């Protein structure tokens, strides 16, 4: 798995020679199968005495544990059995949160990424203020812990994906006269005052891109963008295998779409489909459509896509227009950055799994880039949540040896 690069400048790596050597040993064992001392020596370049001493310290701290020796494991039957160590994924628990505009999902996981409990909470309406949203995010996390019969003290690190730019400190820049960014990223680090967590926020599209990178081996070393296309457009950008970050967190922010013909704004595919469906219902007397089975207040993006699949002409026209808009968004990203691929992720991903060829065809009308691949993310709407889990795990790994001197 490709390591997830956290977005915080607060991480401090060990500096003493012993701590650096311990970090090397722990990195070798982290996520690996049971490993012999000789194998650790080969991978770290350390002496046997040093490896044995460090493994003893790491075992005492709980980061690793003694594994079944090679003879008992059936690897050989003669000679002195080789001592083996393995990483202890239950040493710490983390929480990854996808705090979308209208749905918040939280998952408790161990350090191997094994999910213990997941909770989804929908929010229908407009957030009143940052305090209300922070409280809703906190309730989702606490409900997830309660479901897993865990207490807040059992959690080491929490990473929350939010639909705003996020800088290295987990803060969002000021958004002119709008309060959207400050409400979506509601000073989550203040929860450290009440809970023993290392908690921070990160941009949701960045987390989705890192999740794609870590789960799809074909993306290693490539340049691609993961586009979240649900309620709002946003992009996580990977250049030659590394996430593009800037100090203000604005890389991948797509407000440029406000001036892009055929797009005109950052509303995502789900939001646009819902709005177009509402307009179609209001005009249904003049132009009949099966979308009129719903009231404007009840229609969803899923309804629009479903009716288009059933052959409704009005719904089909909406999807055609949305496909063209998405192709224009891809052109904005792929052209200046010379990308190899664009992944469509988020809530809109499942609906576009059969339409990537059409997006590619439309894209070629705007830019002659025949090498570009257009795909839907293999993890789709789960990308942000999974990326948050992986980011939390990496934060734990980077700070694992603060107690070792």
DSSP state letters, 354-398: T-HHHHHHHHHHH---TT-EEEE-TTGGGHHHHHHHHHHHHHHHH
Q: In the beta sheet, which residues pair with residue 161?
A: 98, 202
State the Cα–Cα distance between residues 271 and 250, nearest whole angstrom: 22
Mean local confidence (pLDDT), 308-333:
97
82 vs 361: which has the higher pLDDT: 361
Q: In the beta sheet, which residues pair with residue 237?
A: 225
Note whether 356 and 389 are within 8 A (CB).
Answer: no
Read off the tokens for 225. Answer: 């963008």
pLDDT surpassing 60 at residue 376: yes
Note whether 116 and 108 are within 8 A (CB).
Answer: yes
pLDDT surpassing 90 at residue 252: yes
pLDDT surpassing 60 at residue 173: yes
State the Cα–Cα distance between residues 144 and 154, nearest whole angstrom: 12
**What is the pLDDT of the chain when averaged over all its residues?**
91
Mean local confidence (pLDDT), 165-189:
89
- At 378 the pLDDT is 85
pLDDT surpassing 90 at residue 144: yes
- At 350 the pLDDT is 86
- At 268 the pLDDT is 94
Q: What percent of the chain has pLDDT over 90?
A: 79
| Residue the block writes with tokens 């809970």 | 195
CB atoms within 10 A of CB 3: 17
Strand pairing class (224-229; 115-122): unpaired
pLDDT surpassing 50 at residue 9: no
Mean local confidence (pLDDT), 145-153:
96
Q: Quickly state the pLDDT bin for 159 (edges 50, 70, 90).
A: very high
Q: What angle do CA 385, 124, 206 make, to 5 degrees?
A: 25
SS3 assignment, position 268: coil
Map 161-215 to HEC letters. Answer: EECCCCCCCCCCCCCCCCCHHHHHCCCHHHHHHCCCCEEEEEEHHHHHHHHHHHH
Q: What angle do CA 250, 97, 86 make, to 5 degrees?
A: 110
**pTM for this prediction:** 0.88
- At 172 the pLDDT is 92
Q: Quickly state the pLDDT bin for 176 (edges 50, 70, 90).
A: confident
Mean local confidence (pLDDT), 113-121:
96
Q: Is 61 exposed, middle or buried (0-12, 13-18, 19+ CB in 10 A)?
A: middle
């Amino acid at each position: 798995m490709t390591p997830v690069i956290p977005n915080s400048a607060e991480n401090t790596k060990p500096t003493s020679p012993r701590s650096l050597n311990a970090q090397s040993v722990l990195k070798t064992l982290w996520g690996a199968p049971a490993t012999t001392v000789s194998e650790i020596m080969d991978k770290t370049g350390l002496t046997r005495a040093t490896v044995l001493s460090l493994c003893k310290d790491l075992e005492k701290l709980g980061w690793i544990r003694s594994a079944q020796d090679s003879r008992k494991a059936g690897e050989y039957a003669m000679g002195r059995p080789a001592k083996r160590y393995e990483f202890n994924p239950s040493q710490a628990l983390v929480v990854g949160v996808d705090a979308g505009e209208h749905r918040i999902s939280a998952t408790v996981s161990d350090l191997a990424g094994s999910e213990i409990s997941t909770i989804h909470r929908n929010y229908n309406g407009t957030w009143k203020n940052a305090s209300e949203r922070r409280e809703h995010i906190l309730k989702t996390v606490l409900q997830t812990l309660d479901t897993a019969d865990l207490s807040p003290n059992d959690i080491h690190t929490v990473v929350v994906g939010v639909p705003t730019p996020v800088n290295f400190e987990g803060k969002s820049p000021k958004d002119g006269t709008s309060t959207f960014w400050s409400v979506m990223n509601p000073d989550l680090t203040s929860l450290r005052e009440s809970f023993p967590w290392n908690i921070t926020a990160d941009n949701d599209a960045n987390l989705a891109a890192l999740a794609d990178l870590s789960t799809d081996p074909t993306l290693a070393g490539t340049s691609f963008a993961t586009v979240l296309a649900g309620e709002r457009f946003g992009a996580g950008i990977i250049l030659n295998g590394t996430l593009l970050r800037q100090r203000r967190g604005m890389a991948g922010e797509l407000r440029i779409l406000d001036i892009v013909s055929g797009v005109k704004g950052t509303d995502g595919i789900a939001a646009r489909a819902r709005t177009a469906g509402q307009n179609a219902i209001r005009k249904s007397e003049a132009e009949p459509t099966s979308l009129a089975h719903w009231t404007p207040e009840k229609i969803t993006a899923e309804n629009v896509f479903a009716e288009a699949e059933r052959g409704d002409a009005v719904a089909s026209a909406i999807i055609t227009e949305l496909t063209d808009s998405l192709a224009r968004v891809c052109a904005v990203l792929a052209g200046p950055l010379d990308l190899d691929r664009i992944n469509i992720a988020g809530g809109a991903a499942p609906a576009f799994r059969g339409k990537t060829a059409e997006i590619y065809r439309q894209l070629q009308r705007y830019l002659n880039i025949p090498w570009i691949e257009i795909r839907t993310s293999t993890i789709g709407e789960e990308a942000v949540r999974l990326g948050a889990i992986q980011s939390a795990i990496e934060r734990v790994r980077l700070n694992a040896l603060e107690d070792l001197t």
